[in-house]
């Protein structure tokens, strides 16, 4: 969510590997008996954990709250440098507040500051974890919290998927609704994970996020979440959407960076509430509105709404698998084009610089002459069509807008990123080689990497010795020849609106989606 180095985030992060059947969801602090501000951690018993998880249904099975149209569950990680923004988000939501149609519930965690310094202003000096039932501001003072605290305890590792599972199950049971929105607010790093937690020093892996959501939905008996929203950087990922396709009906996320303040959630929920009933209850309409209402917002340069229920039938993973097979087949013939991609971040910051736009990559491949490489063209076009069928709405900065690392130059972004290493052959030679290995290990555990040629293609890129042919010595050179510096130029190459630069660099004057 904040503009940080996501590679440093990965360097600190460890994915959750706890036993989900026994892992503790909560930790508490004892009282500060000696007044020195030092609280000892107290592990909670299973009974205490169940109590903190909330009452859920009453003993006769009747929910403790009347059923409404929507419940919005905000999982806000203030254990990091985003704590001030998480505090402001709670205050922002009080500008809307719950009403007869909508429950707004927040779980907010805050670490104590070093040297006894209080956390951000407005919420008081407490640290630990609180759950709020958000009500509209009562006293007219936008800098004080009026909402009821419905549960509180000590430290919580927000990167622990069991913590998320318990919050979602509790929220869905305690505040039943016809539709559910889940908002994940914290740091993100795409396929690596989300909710990087300072004191736990780990991130919630995407498979663990999936498991937590499915388990909570099953226990609460609600079915899929209607709108899953990420207020985090880099979560608008093809791999992430593929992993979560069975957990939610729609997903809203950014394929690039997101500013520290994140989404204007209060304004978005206010607009949502003003919709007529048929639109108010349509998750696809809500997801589109989130995207359309944030166009031009400097904190949200990228945003996409994805129809996860169409993901399987659209065949996004299968389409990329077929295209990856062509990339294997033609090897260095297309190496120059596959490497010359728009990337999300500064070139020297990883792994943001290793994320490319999936549709733009396919468009680059489709620019080869379809008469010379008909299968490559057909499979690239299939990727574009598959992505188009699942993307409900998206926005990216217009050409020349903004001077930040994720703005202006990424005008061809189209909604969903894809992992493609920038300089994979150097992975073993850099200071980040261990982190790259960890990234690849995490990536290999994703559903997207299973039975998909894209993952072995990435591994092949990291060991390109089989492609290191001298000029003119390649065993198979259809349609063209190899040039020095590894650039392949087929005879039938199509060059719309552009030109070749020295050493095989192709730079179009203008390329549109």
- Residues 6 or more apart from 431 whose CB is under 8 A from it? none
Same domain, 283 and 430: no
Three-state secondary structure call for residue 296: coil
Do 208 and 90 touch, CB atoms closer than 8 A? no
Do 396 and 382 touch, CB atoms closer than 8 A? no
Three-state secondary structure call for residue 173: helix
- Rounded Cα–Cα distance for residues 117 and 252 (Å): 35
The whole domain housing 431 covers: 316-392+400-508
Domain closes at, from 311, 336, 358: 311
Same domain, 321 and 274: no
- Rounded Cα–Cα distance for residues 395 and 380 (Å): 22
Do 256 and 460 touch, CB atoms closer than 8 A? no
- Rounded Cα–Cα distance for residues 382 and 217 (Å): 33
Same domain, 351 and 280: no
Domain closes at, from 268, 294, 311: 311
How far is CA 342 from each of CA 310, 330, 377, 405, rounded to the nearest angstrom? Answer: 27, 22, 20, 11
How far is CA 352 from each of CA 3, 9, 73, 89, 134, rounded to the nearest angstrom? Answer: 11, 11, 28, 26, 35
Q: Is residue 410 part of a domain?
A: yes
Token pair listed for 101? 């149609």
Give me the pLDDT at residue 96, please.
Answer: 95
Segments in the chain below pLDDT 70: 1-64, 113-122, 197-201, 332, 335-353, 369-370, 398-411, 422-436, 462-513
Please report which helix (H) or strand (E) contains residue 277, including its range: helix 277-280
Give me the pLDDT at residue 176, please.
Answer: 97
Q: Is residue 350 part of a domain?
A: yes
Task: Give the 3-state DSSP-derived string for 209-224, with helices as H, strands as E and coil as C.
Answer: HHHHHHHHHHHHCCCC
Do 94 and 146 touch, CB atoms closer than 8 A? yes
Q: Tell me which DSSP letter residue 492 carries.
A: T
Buried b (16+ CB within 10 A) or exposed e, 412-440: bbbbbbbbbbbebeebeeeebeebbebbb
Closest CA to 110 of 74, 76, 79, 75: 79
Q: Is residue 31 part of a domain?
A: no
Token pair listed for 472? 């003119």
Same domain, 301 and 335: no
* Ranges of H-type helices in 350-432: 358-365, 374-390
Same domain, 296 and 418: no
Q: Is residue 304 part of a domain?
A: yes
Domain closes at, from 311, 344, 376: 311
CA–centroid distance for 236 within its chain: 5
- Residues 6 or more apart from 95 whose CB is under 8 A from it? 136, 137, 142, 266, 270
Same domain, 175 and 301: yes
Q: Is residue 485 part of a domain?
A: yes
Q: Is residue 14 part of a domain?
A: no
Do 209 and 415 touch, CB atoms closer than 8 A? no
pLDDT, one tens digit per residue, over 53-96 is 444 443 344 456 789 999 999 999 998 888 889 989 999 999 99
Q: How many domains does the chain have?
A: 2
Token pair listed for 204? 């919630």
Do 247 and 210 touch, CB atoms closer than 8 A? yes
Same domain, 337 and 267: no
- Rounded Cα–Cα distance for residues 441 and 373 (Å): 33
Q: Is residue 27 part of a domain?
A: no
- Rounded Cα–Cα distance for residues 180 and 248 (Å): 9
Same domain, 279 and 333: no
CATH number of 212's domain: 3.40.50.11970
Same domain, 292 and 215: yes
- Whole-model pTM: value is 0.78
Same domain, 386 and 326: yes
Q: Is residue 174 part of a domain?
A: yes
pLDDT, one tens digit per residue, over 245-263 is 999 999 999 998 888 899 9
Q: Which residues pair with 106 in a beta bridge?
A: 74, 132
Same domain, 280 and 138: yes
Same domain, 285 and 226: yes
């Amino acid at each position: 969510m904040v503009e940080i180095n996501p590679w440093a985030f990965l360097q600190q992060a460890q994915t959750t590997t706890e036993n989900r059947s026994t892992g503790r969801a909560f930790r508490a602090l004892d009282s500060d008996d000696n007044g020195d501000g030092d609280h000892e951690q107290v592990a909670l018993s299973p009974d205490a954990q169940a109590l903190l998880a909330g009452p859920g249904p009453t003993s006769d099975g009747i929910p403790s709250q009347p059923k409404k149209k929507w419940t919005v569950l905000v999982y806000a990680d203030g254990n990091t440098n985003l704590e001030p923004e998480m505090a402001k988000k709670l205050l922002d939501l009080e500008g809307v507040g719950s009403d007869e149609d909508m429950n707004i519930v927040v779980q907010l965690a805050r670490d104590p500051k070093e040297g006894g310094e209080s956390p951000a202003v407005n919420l008081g000096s407490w640290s630990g974890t609180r759950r709020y039932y958000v009500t509209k501001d009562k006293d007219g003072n936008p800098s004080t919290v009026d909402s009821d605290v419905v549960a509180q305890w000590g430290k919580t590792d927000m990167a622990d998927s069991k913590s998320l599972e318990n919050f979602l199950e509790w929220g869905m049971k305690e505040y039943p609704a016809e539709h559910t929105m889940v908002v994940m607010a914290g740091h993100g790093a795409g396929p690596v994970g989300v909710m990087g937690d300072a004191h736990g020093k780990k991130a919630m892996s995407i498979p663990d996020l999936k498991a937590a959501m499915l388990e909570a939905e099953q226990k609460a008996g609600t079915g899929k979440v209607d709108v899953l929203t990420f207020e985090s950087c880099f979560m608008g990922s093809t791999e992430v959407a593929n992993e979560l396709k069975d957990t939610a009906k729609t997903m809203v996320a950014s394929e690039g960076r997101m500013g520290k303040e994140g989404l204007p959630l209060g304004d978005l929920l206010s607009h949502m509430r003003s919709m007529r009933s048929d639109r108010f209850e349509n998750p696809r309409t809500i997801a589109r509105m989130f995207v359309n209402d944030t166009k031009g917002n400097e904190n949200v340069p990228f945003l996409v709404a994805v129809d996860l229920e169409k993901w399987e039938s659209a065949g996004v993973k299968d389409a990329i698998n077929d295209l990856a097979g062509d990339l294997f087949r033609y090897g260095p013939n297309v190496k120059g084009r596959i490497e010359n991609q728009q990337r999300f971040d500064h070139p020297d910051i990883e792994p943001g610089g290793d994320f490319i736009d999936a549709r733009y990559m396919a468009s680059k491949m489709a620019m080869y002459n379809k008469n010379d490489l008909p299968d490559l063209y057909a499979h690239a076009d299939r990727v574009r069509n598959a992505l188009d069928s699942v993307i409900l709405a998206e926005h990216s900065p217009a050409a020349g807008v903004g001077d930040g690392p994720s703005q202006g130059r990424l005008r061809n972004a189209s909604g969903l990123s894809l992992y493609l290493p920038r300089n994979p052959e150097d992975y073993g030679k850099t200071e980040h080689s261990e982190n790259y290995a960890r990234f690849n290990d995490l990536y290999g555990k994703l559903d997207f990497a299973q039975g998909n040629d894209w993952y072995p293609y990435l591994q092949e890129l990291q060991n390109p010795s089989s492609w290191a042919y001298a000029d003119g010595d390649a065993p198979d050179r259809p349609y063209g020849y190899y040039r020095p510096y590894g650039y392949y130029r087929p005879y039938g190459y199509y060059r719309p609106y552009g030109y070749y630069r020295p050493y095989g660099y192709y730079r179009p004057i203008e390329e549109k989606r």
